Structure 1
Amino acid sequence: MRLWFSAALCAGLCVAPLPFASADAATAAVAASRPASAAEVATYARTLLADSVPEGGPGIVVLVARGDQVLYRGARGLANIELGVPLTPDQVFRLGSVTKQFAAAGVMKLVEAGKVGLDDPLSKYVKDFPNGDAISVRQLLNHTSGVKSYTGIDGYMHESIKRDLSTRAMIDVFKDLPVDFAPGQGYAYNNSGYVLVGAVIEAASGQRWYDYLDQALFKPLGLKHTRYGDVHALIPGYVGGYTRGDGGNAPMNYLDMSQPHAAGALVSSLDDLLRWNLALHNGQVLKPDSYRAMTTPEGKAREDGYGYGIGKAYAHGHGGWGHGGGIFGFATFLLYLPDGKTTVAVLSNSDSALKDGVNPEGLARRLAAVALGDPYPAVTAVPVDAATLKQAEGVYRKNPQLAWALRVVDGVLTQQRLGGSRIALTPVARDTYAYPNGLSRLQLQRDGQGAVTAMRYFGDGIGESQLTARSDEPLPQP
């Protein structure tokens, strides 16, 4: 998931069993040679939600559509645990980083109007930003600016995040921090960059960033429930957000929504997200050249498949675009596949996994694959001896900022992004392991002597992959 407050490939919880046995069995009703019917999608979706959402807690709302035909629209869980109010598909959720595609489209509308240039320097819009002459609008949109993400500041998310700050005050939080790399010389998912995107919108339009989006996008497209998630406003249909505490579910931690800014401060509903997907991806929002720029990864963002506020996404080999979000109290994913003009929106009112290995992106991709009649295969574990597992242990480094540790814990091979959470991997073939979502795969690479030299990550289980070499670094302490 792309989270508003963090972004980590393969981040998650340390888990063992995959929670989708019943849902995998339900795929038997879906033929692999034709798109699924609405009844087949609904049967699978209900089973998947039942597998994924425990009773008596927060939950998930889901929409699956083929073009403007809704195949399934449903909910499971509670909108308010204290009062026992159930979730419904009509309700409003925080979007987290799904906000970014709206902000990026807003910038592209300003580009089309001649008010912003993608290669304009940031200094044109934010006068005193350090090295602002070298940072372009384009680099803000695709996370290649090198600006330090304020959500990564030690301790910031505990108390500082509660303050109500202006755009100028938000920029002051991070403008003098050391950069991650020179502009255009790297890629790092970056929430500060989208605060600056919001600042560009405000300088070019003369409006607050969300007022401009309302005037340029929300009202013209009939997005009645998409708006700035102001914590001081009453928002019709807005659900309560939750987190996982020591004693189980607890109310979400507080933050002022001025701080997520254009990186993550919008709220919306399932129906609005369907309307948005169809409009954006079918030429009703941007001119063809603008849309092509927004959805074409370039430069250092190409390897990660990130365009402007949206990235490449897959469902069992079917390619398209998507984005996830995670923010206090909520987790989200919005997916669009050109095959069948397939939309899947998954919104959760919990920022913690509802069950081990369950997240909105995994659910969205499973649902999309079933709707296309090409479901993911079930995960079946195979035995691997302890010595073979031990051979994989080590640090695998992609760049100075990003590395993973493979480590055997209680007889299970685990992966941990350094600084992140540990997840358990399930062996499905020699040197091939499934992630807890049941979709992604890790494949170990060996040299001629049989030593493990690299790991290859298949985000969709098949197709495109990313290779990360094993380094000589010692394993860090658990």
Structure 2
Amino acid sequence: MRIFKLIKLSLLISVFPSNAIQSQEFESKIDQLISKTYTPDGPGISILIAKKGTPIYQKNYGKSNIELNLPINSKTVFQIGSITKQFTAIAILMLEEQGKLKLNDEIIKYIPEYLNKGNKITIHNLLNHTSGINGKTPISSNKLKRLDLTVDQIIDYFKNKPLKFLPGEQFSYSNSGYILLGKIIEIVSGNSYEDFIENNIFKKLGMTNTRYGYHNEIVKNRANGYQFYGKNYMNAPYISLSTQYAGGSILSTAGDLLKWQNALVSNILIKKSSFEKATSKSVLNNKQVISYGYGWYNRKINNSTVFVHGGATPGFMSNSIYLKHKDIYIIALTNCYCKKVKNIQKITYKIASLFTKNKKEVIINRVKLLENELNKWVGNYKLSNNTYIKIELNNGYLYGFNPKNKNIKHKLISTSKNDFIFENKKINFHFYISKNGSKKVKMSSGNRTLIGFEYKINK
């Protein structure tokens, strides 16, 4: 792989042997960042970075099972925790598009027993955590968290607790709200939550390594979960995944979650407008804007808009980041709930910052040249890497292109009589006359330079 990238069209490919995806320098930075945190003999991480839907970095570190000395690989299955909420939110939006519910419906329309003292809680309030419903679920109870519970039993745990605030007045992250959304999906669709997401999402997208989670099932390549106590790793305590339900029960792989992300940006499951609704910020009753939409936080990293959500269950942590304007997706899964020593959120944010660092704008001091001054550099040039570029004059500008692809031409902006820069500001040209009178060109970008000399084409 090459450190440097020129323009993304055919001239780039033919003139400089570049890698349109990733540089060694960039890959090395990520490797160093992760290897400092995850050791080969401890619980590890599966990380995937994709640009425009295609992986540009995918590596796995550490063990999926320390006792059995099994390494994490691309098929290792992790608990993804609250990233599950994205699937629940999209399922609701799918049902909205089918006309089976409305986001401003009050939840008592579907769950009549959830009266909550007459307060009007809507599906919208559940999706963006503005319902005021107490967020504690049976996972908070030492007596209940190990039991396999039905969704109704989970709802019974919190339904009579007072609201923390009136609906729409504040934001307060609530697992309980997403439990209720799962129940609504079941009522509206006529299927269990598990069957709905399996048949309408996992199977449709070919997410063959993704499922609604149960501890008692045999799951091929399932990672064991760990936590950090003092200076040692220990097996994570058991909890029933039923207590997570529609808020955190899904098991998946990094590769399958890329399929999920690609489907969302390609509008395979829902319309573009629906996905924009899910990833947009919300507004409280007092017009205050909050960063949460429906299953995604809408935030900034170095002034770049990103859609983010993480997850955590005993023994597991996850984080996903989508850089909207660069179409870059970062997903990281770990089998260690080790927040203080292995904070997966910090790692993914640092990686995202590599793509979002603000670069100083290149200011071009243009110089107007006469046609005879421009015509001086017209010709065919053979470059030092045995590739070719043709320079021609057209309507008062020089253009450069690969002779094998005359349809893609790039304008050269003059900065002096001898110096030019591609209009994309990435390649500098310096033309000059050698001692033997022949025309030559030096092309440079970053720390890479090619020298070319004019050659005559025999007609």
What is the rounded CA distance, in whole Å, between the counterparts of 2:120 and 2:92 in structure 1?
19
CA gap of 1:314–1:223, structure 2 versus 1, over 3 A, is farther
What's 2:403 paired with? none
What's 1:20 paired with? none
Structure 1 contact 93–349 (Cα < 8 Å) conserved = yes
Cα displacement (A) at 1:217: 1.3
Match of 1:327 among 313, 319, 339: 313
What's 2:394 paired with? none
What is the rounded CA distance, in whole Å, between the counterparts of 1:354 and 1:76 in structure 2?
18
Instruction: Answer yes or no: is 1:345 the counterpart of 2:331.
Output: yes
Q: Secondary structure at the match of 1:104?
A: helix
Match of 1:235 among 214, 219, 224: 219
Instruction: Answer yes or no: is 1:212 the counterpart of 2:212.
Output: no
Q: Secondary structure at the match of 1:52?
A: coil
Match of 2:130 among 144, 152, 161: 144
Instruction: Answer yes or no: is 1:311 the counterpart of 2:297.
Output: yes
Cα displacement (A) at 1:290: 1.6
What is the rounded CA distance, in whole Å, between the counterparts of 2:340 and 2:308 in structure 1?
21
Match of 2:107 among 122, 142, 145: 122
What's 1:103 paired with? 88
Deviations 1:272-316 (A, max 9, x none): 111111211232221133222212222239643100011113333
What is the rounded CA distance, in whole Å, between the counterparts of 2:169 and 2:56 in structure 1?
44
What is the rounded CA distance, in whole Å, between the counterparts of 2:253 and 2:141 in structure 1?
26
What's 1:248 paired with? 232
Match of 1:39 among 24, 28, 31: 24
Letter in 1 for 2:345: E
Letter in 2 for 1:165: L
Cα displacement (A) at 1:148: 0.4
Whose Rg is larger? 2
Match of 2:161 among 177, 183, 188: 177
What is the rounded CA distance, in whole Å, between the counterparts of 2:309 and 2:134 in structure 1?
21
Return 5+ residue gaps in structure 1 as ranges: 1-28, 376-478
Structure 1 contact 122–133 (Cα < 8 Å) conserved = no
What is the rounded CA distance, in whole Å, between the counterparts of 1:285 and 1:38 in structure 2?
33
Structure 1 contact 96–327 (Cα < 8 Å) conserved = yes
Deviations 1:59-85 (A, max 9, x none): 111111111221111011111111111
What is the rounded CA distance, in whole Å, between the counterparts of 1:188 and 1:276 in structure 2?
26
Range 227-236 or range 346-355, more displaced: 346-355
Letter in 1 for 2:98: A
Letter in 1 for 2:333: L
Q: Secondary structure at the match of 1:340?
A: coil
Match of 1:262 among 217, 225, 246: 246
Cα displacement (A) at 1:192: 0.3
What is the rounded CA distance, in whole Å, between the counterparts of 1:237 and 1:75 in structure 2?
14
What is the rounded CA distance, in whole Å, between the counterparts of 2:157 and 2:125 in structure 1?
20
What is the rounded CA distance, in whole Å, between the counterparts of 1:156 and 1:62 in structure 2?
30
Cα displacement (A) at 1:127: 1.6
Cα displacement (A) at 1:55: 4.0
What is the rounded CA distance, in whole Å, between the counterparts of 1:177 and 1:138 in structure 2?
20
Cα displacement (A) at 1:374: 5.5
Structure 2 contact 302–356 (Cα < 8 Å) conserved = no
Of the two structures, which has the highest relative contact order with CA contacts closer than 8 Å and spacing of 6 or more?
Answer: 1
What is the rounded CA distance, in whole Å, between the counterparts of 2:26 and 2:280 in structure 1?
31
What is the rounded CA distance, in whole Å, between the counterparts of 1:354 and 1:77 in structure 2?
18
Instruction: Answer yes or no: is 1:285 the counterpart of 2:265.
Output: no
Deviations 1:358-389 (A, max 9, x none): 422221122223245659xxxxxxxxxxxxxx
CA gap of 1:296–1:373, structure 2 versus 1, over 3 A, is closer
How many residues are treated as equivalent by the alignment?
342
Deviations 1:387-433 (A, max 9, x none): xxxxxxxxxxxxxxxxxxxxxxxxxxxxxxxxxxxxxxxxxxxxxxx
Letter in 1 for 2:57: Y
TM-score normalised by the chain length of structure 2: 0.70
Deviations 1:51-107 (A, max 9, x none): 111342111111111112211110111111111111112211101000001100000
What is the rounded CA distance, in whole Å, between the counterparts of 1:84 and 1:361 in structure 2?
26
What's 1:360 paired with? 344
What is the rounded CA distance, in whole Å, between the counterparts of 2:50 and 2:277 in structure 1?
26
1:443-454 residue pairs with structure 2 within 5 A? none
What is the rounded CA distance, in whole Å, between the counterparts of 2:69 and 2:340 in structure 1?
17
Letter in 2 for 1:182: L
What is the rounded CA distance, in whole Å, between the counterparts of 1:118 and 1:276 in structure 2?
23
What is the rounded CA distance, in whole Å, between the counterparts of 1:48 and 1:71 in structure 2?
17
TM-score normalised by the chain length of structure 1: 0.67
CA-based RMSD:
2.4
Letter in 1 for 2:156: D
Q: Secondary structure at the match of 1:117?
A: coil
Q: Secondary structure at the match of 2:140?
A: coil
What is the rounded CA distance, in whole Å, between the counterparts of 1:36 and 1:369 in structure 2?
17
Q: Secondary structure at the match of 1:336?
A: strand
What's 2:78 paired with? 93
What is the rounded CA distance, in whole Å, between the counterparts of 2:268 and 2:161 in structure 1?
39
Deviations 1:117-150 (A, max 9, x none): 1011111111201327611011000000001012
What's 1:226 paired with? 210
Match of 1:53 among 28, 32, 38: 38
What is the rounded CA distance, in whole Å, between the counterparts of 2:43 and 2:303 in structure 1?
31
1:17-28 residue pairs with structure 2 within 5 A? none
CA gap of 1:157–1:87, structure 2 versus 1, over 3 A, is farther
Cα displacement (A) at 1:348: 0.7
Cα displacement (A) at 1:207: 1.0
Return 5+ residue gaps in structure 2 as ranges: 9-19, 360-459
What is the rounded CA distance, in whole Å, between the counterparts of 1:347 and 1:135 in structure 2?
34
Cα displacement (A) at 1:188: 0.2
Deviations 1:306-362 (A, max 9, x none): 00011113333221211000111100001111233101001110111373xx42222
Letter in 2 for 1:141: L
Structure 2 contact 301–356 (Cα < 8 Å) conserved = no
Letter in 1 for 2:90: A
Structure 1 contact 36–373 (Cα < 8 Å) conserved = no
What is the rounded CA distance, in whole Å, between the counterparts of 1:314 and 1:41 in structure 2?
21
Letter in 1 for 2:316: F
